[in-house]
Structure 1
Amino acid sequence: MKNHLRVLLLAAGPGLLVPAGAALAQTAPAAQSVLATQATIGKLPLSLAQAIDYAVKNKPTLLATRLGEQTAKAKVGEIRSAGLPQVNVAANVADNFKLQKSLVNFGALGGGASATTLTQADITAAQNGGTVNLGTVQLPSEPVPPQAFAFGLQWAGNTSASVSQLLFDGAYLIGLKAAKVYEELAQKQTQQAEIEVVEQVSKAYYSTLVARERLQLLSRNVQRLDTLLYQTNETFKAGFAEKLDVQRLQVQRNNLVVEQQKAARLTELSVALLKFQMGLPQSQDVRLTDELSNALVDAGTLRQRLGAASFATGAGDIGLGPVPTAPATPTTDAGAQRDQDQQTALSGARTGQLAAAFNYNNRIEFSTLETQQALAGLDLANRRAGAYPRLLATAAYGFSGSGKTASDLFGFRGPDSRTGNGFSNQNWFGFGNVGLSLQIPVFDGFRRKYLVQQSRIQQQIIERGFETLRQSIDLQDTQSRTSLVNALDVLDNQKANLALAEEVARVSRIKFEEGVGANLEVISAETGLREAQTNYYAALYDVLVAKVDRDKATGELYRKASN
């Protein structure tokens, strides 16, 4: 039981985006059954919440993790079973083809004039398992030496039932405490795996939305360029345009069609990746019901939460501010400034308000490490409990028998059995006992001492791990915040560039249609527009991914996915 316990102890607000998986736990059972039915027929409609819900229930890696959780529960049941009554039934039959012999001294029995002795014929009969009638004879001058006798019969058997009940065992009591902690550890490991799935599905879903939106935009670009090419070709036929103008637009259209085909294949690949992250068969057709516009909300509100400056105004969360001036000369001394810098570094470069609001326990890794620390403490207590006594109550009842032959043994003759001349002929006899078994460890060669030392060192390692994990979480928090702020700035910039590129392309087309602009100017404007569109959607995807990473770094991703 202690070995099993060792195994158990050692196993061991508004923002830029709609919260990833915000409706994970709100999916009604009826809706879930419809989703499961649609997964086999026709196109499967998927919102982000439904995609996450399906992945959490069907992702093979998560199913394997949950099997590990069930294994942990079974292991806990195994430990608890040690405290229940242990019942055993045993039976055996033996053919003593060579009976064991023992020496018996039938010599002088006290120095009298006579004694009980045996003749050689009696000895031979006894050695062969025969019946010997002892008589009183005159003692010889020299006593008879010890003689070898065979006890028992050739065939012997017994059957018994035994029961034992553990009354006290320090290791078992600690194991009961560790059982709940061990189950919590398995559950947190499953939660951590679910967070990874939520992150992967969210990013894959956003990637598919962006790819789909860009493909639609390319389709509109091709239609617009087709119209322009048709108008230019008609103008060329009328003699008001050069053939070179038509050819340039034709090259432009060919390149745009190739780009559209590439985007279509990339969109298909994004859908395939989404299916993989969900654990959905690749043969199942899906239809994304969420729109990219629904994933974006007020970026200014998110900037206020982050305490970040706006790319457009540079004034942070207070709106348009005055022109920046040179910083005032600090009035604090060098020591105070050094303390302030150290405090800023320890808070992960967060402002005081944000640092105070950050809770490490929101991160599943921190909570898991706390559970491992609790298990390490129970492991130390378990090893110390090795010095406690162990008390069991025992009871047994059974029958044993013997016979000269196998058929004689299995005759099962009881106390009422008699021979022809009236002698008892019983060959099976019952036995029973009850008792207590006390085991007190006295000295084990200092083995327990060194085991306790190992457990203490393991506790110290976990304590050091807390500091490392805090620093890692601080770094991830700072990195995710910086990445999100930078992505917001890039998105604002690319959005402004896209608006300018659209205006340039519109004016260039009007000038060309009115005959006051060059064809080359239109082509250059269209190229710049497509580049601005590509950059915009790339920046948009970066913002979506950065927001998911930010939610994961602050420990909000799982909470939002389970609300």
Structure 2
Amino acid sequence: MRTKLLLSALLVGWLQGNGQAVPDSLPKQVDLEQAIAFSLKNQPLVQQSEIDEKITAANIRNRLADWYPQVNFNYNLQHNFVVQTNIIGGNPVKLGVDNVSALQFTMSQTLFNRDVLLARRTRTDVQQQALQTTRQRKIDLVVAVSKAYYDVLATTQQVKVADENIRRIERSLQDAKFQYDAGVADKTDFKRATIALNNAKASRIANEEILKAKQEYLKSLMGYPVETPIELLYDSASLEQSITAPADENPELNNRIEYQLLTTQIKLQEANLKYNKWAYLPNVSLNGAYNLNYLNNQFAKLYNVNYPASFAAITLGFPIFQGGKRKSAIDAAEWQLERTKLDLLSLKNSVNAAYSQAIATYKSTYTNYLALKENLDLAREVYDVIQLQYRNGIKTYLEVINAETDLRTATINYYTALYNVLASKVDVQKELGQFNY
């Protein structure tokens, strides 16, 4: 233990001496890519799905083990208090001895069995189904984390807008106070500025509380520790550059994980249908045993003499009548297969509709984003001009308040539109099957 502690201390010291930090697996600041990567690694649902893959693989190995020879050993020790008696030739004869012991080695080899045959033929599809289920959960998680990430950014911007608004109002309040002290204006401007400042502070507090709730929701999606604060890293310019004009595309059904999963389910159900049709086939196995038998009336001399026995046999089991069980199982398998095919048809019909809705929303939010971006530039320009004119006594403070309100609204609307168009783009990418994990 002392040696291990010493080595650990030397390793940490060497890393620090070479300017290398010990990696921290729990980042305090994350961008979108880091948030997604952390989610895929730490989200409990994804971890459960990956465990399901391992369970599936173990179950497959368990079923396929029946193809291998099965060797067993049995040991038996029996004392007969009253030995069975039978009448042979009119005379009572004891059939056995007081003490019996047997050591039995058995071996069986399956030659044909529909259970192991099904396991062998469907193992690839079963593994594929488990893998696709994990991929589907990952894709859904990536979409949810991305949209929650943008939602947190939008609310963060609202808090920052509120801070900027408060600073502007505080400057306006100071200007109004100076003008009142100079006798240029009355108390009305000063009171209006105070009212606006109180409203801005109240709005900021409300946005801060909303931001906390949205951060907790994002952390829950990521599998991030509740007690650890999280801060999002982002670059508004890069986010704007990632926005591209919407373009109509034809969704490829094969790229959708839902389609791939349904296709795999159909393969498995077709195999299950064949399995039920094979119910009339026999079970064939090779069996053998070697027995060491010990018989003696005296327990102390029980293992002095061995009477061995061995055999080999082929066993064939053939179902003759099962009360219609096979026919009922086949009917159920056929209807289940038909039902899944209808699910596939329903997916085909809904893909285009879902994509049309997603691209329509994307186009709408994109157009709205462009308009609100222009409105923000105009509102900022108007506010600067009116603020300057107010200081020079040309405009009234009421016009300053209106301009400030327009600027604040335009800023909030712009950032809301920015993150809405990014979230809409995520929905379009999902409908096109562009996420692959």
| TM-score, length of structure 1 as denominator length | 0.70
CA shift in 2, pair 1:191/1:398, >3 Å = same
**Greater alpha carbon shift after TM alignment, 499-508 vs 484-493:** 499-508
Please give the secondary structure, in 2, of the residue aligned with 1:38.
coil
Task: Tell whether the 8 Å contact from 1:55 to 1:278 is kept in structure 2 after alignment.
Answer: yes
Please give the secondary structure, in 2, of the residue aligned with 1:429.
coil
Please give the secondary structure, in 1, of the residue aligned with 2:311.
strand
Give 2:80's aligned residue: 96
Q: 1:544 aligns with which of 419, 422, 427?
A: 422
Distance 2:323 2:226 in 1: 62
- Whichever residue aligns with residue 302 of structure 1, its letter is A
Distance 1:36 1:254 in 2: 47
Give 2:287's aligned residue: 394
Give 1:381's aligned residue: 274
What are structure 2's unaligned runs of at least 5 residues?
Answer: 1-19
Distance 2:21 2:82 in 1: 76
Task: Tell whether the 8 Å contact from 2:245 to 2:366 is kept in structure 1 after alignment.
Answer: no
Please give the secondary structure, in 2, of the residue aligned with 1:240.
coil
Distance 1:35 1:57 in 2: 22
Task: Tell whether the 8 Å contact from 1:209 to 1:292 is kept in structure 2 after alignment.
Answer: no
Percent of pairs with identical residues = 26
Q: Deviations over 1:152-202 (max 9, x none)?
A: 112222110101111223442232110110000000000001011101211
- Whichever residue aligns with residue 404 of structure 2, its letter is E
**Greater alpha carbon shift after TM alignment, 167-176 vs 481-490:** 167-176
CA shift in 2, pair 1:36/1:367, >3 Å = farther
**Counterparts of residues 150-549 of structure 1 (less than 5 Å):** 150-297=94-241, 299=243, 301-303=244-246, 305-306=247-248, 354-355=249-250, 358-409=251-302, 412-414=303-305, 428-549=306-427
Please give the secondary structure, in 2, of the residue aligned with 1:92.
strand
Distance 1:215 1:293 in 2: 19
Structure 1 position 83, deviation (Å): 0.3
Distance 2:371 2:299 in 1: 99
Is structure 2 residue 55 aligned with structure 1 residue 71?
yes
**Greater alpha carbon shift after TM alignment, 392-401 vs 363-372:** 392-401
**Greater alpha carbon shift after TM alignment, 529-538 vs 191-200:** 529-538
Give 2:13's aligned residue: none
Name the one with the larger helix percent: 2
- Whichever residue aligns with residue 153 of structure 1, its letter is V
Structure 1 position 58, deviation (Å): 0.9
Larger Rg: 1
Distance 2:115 2:24 in 1: 52
Task: Tell whether the 8 Å contact from 1:502 to 1:529 is kept in structure 2 after alignment.
Answer: yes
Distance 2:79 2:352 in 1: 75
| TM-score, length of structure 2 as denominator length | 0.89
Task: Tell whether the 8 Å contact from 1:209 to 1:291 is kept in structure 2 after alignment.
Answer: no
- Taking only aligned residues, the RMSD between alpha carbons, in angstroms, comes to 2.1
Structure 1 position 372, deviation (Å): 0.2
- Whichever residue aligns with residue 219 of structure 2, its letter is K
Please give the secondary structure, in 2, of the residue aligned with 1:296.
helix
Distance 1:532 1:35 in 2: 44
Q: 1:58 aligns with which of 42, 49, 63?
A: 42
Please give the secondary structure, in 2, of the residue aligned with 1:368.
helix
Distance 2:193 2:114 in 1: 86
Give 2:33's aligned residue: 49
Please give the secondary structure, in 1, of the residue aligned with 2:96.
coil
- Whichever residue aligns with residue 551 of structure 1, its letter is Q
Task: Tell whether the 8 Å contact from 1:229 to 1:249 is kept in structure 2 after alignment.
Answer: yes
- Whichever residue aligns with residue 524 of structure 1, its letter is N
Instruction: Please list every run of at least 4 consecutive aligned residues from structure 1 whose deviation after the TM superposition is greater than 6 angstroms.
Output: none
Distance 2:415 2:291 in 1: 83
Give 1:37's aligned residue: 23
**Greater alpha carbon shift after TM alignment, 366-375 vs 271-280:** 271-280
Structure 1 position 363, deviation (Å): 0.9
Structure 1 position 522, deviation (Å): 1.3
Q: 1:85 aligns with which of 49, 69, 73?
A: 69
Task: Tell whether the 8 Å contact from 2:240 to 2:418 is kept in structure 1 after alignment.
Answer: no
CA shift in 2, pair 1:546/1:66, >3 Å = same
Structure 1 position 298, deviation (Å): 6.7
Q: Deviations over 1:520-558 (max 9, x none)?
A: 1211222232222232232223212211111111111x2
Distance 1:479 1:367 in 2: 22
Task: Tell whether the 8 Å contact from 1:236 to 1:243 is kept in structure 2 after alignment.
Answer: yes
What are structure 1's unaligned runs of at least 5 residues?
Answer: 1-33, 106-145, 307-353, 415-427
**Counterparts of residues 549-560 of structure 1 (less than 5 Å):** 549-556=427-434, 558-559=435-436
Task: Tell whether the 8 Å contact from 1:38 to 1:44 is kept in structure 2 after alignment.
Answer: no
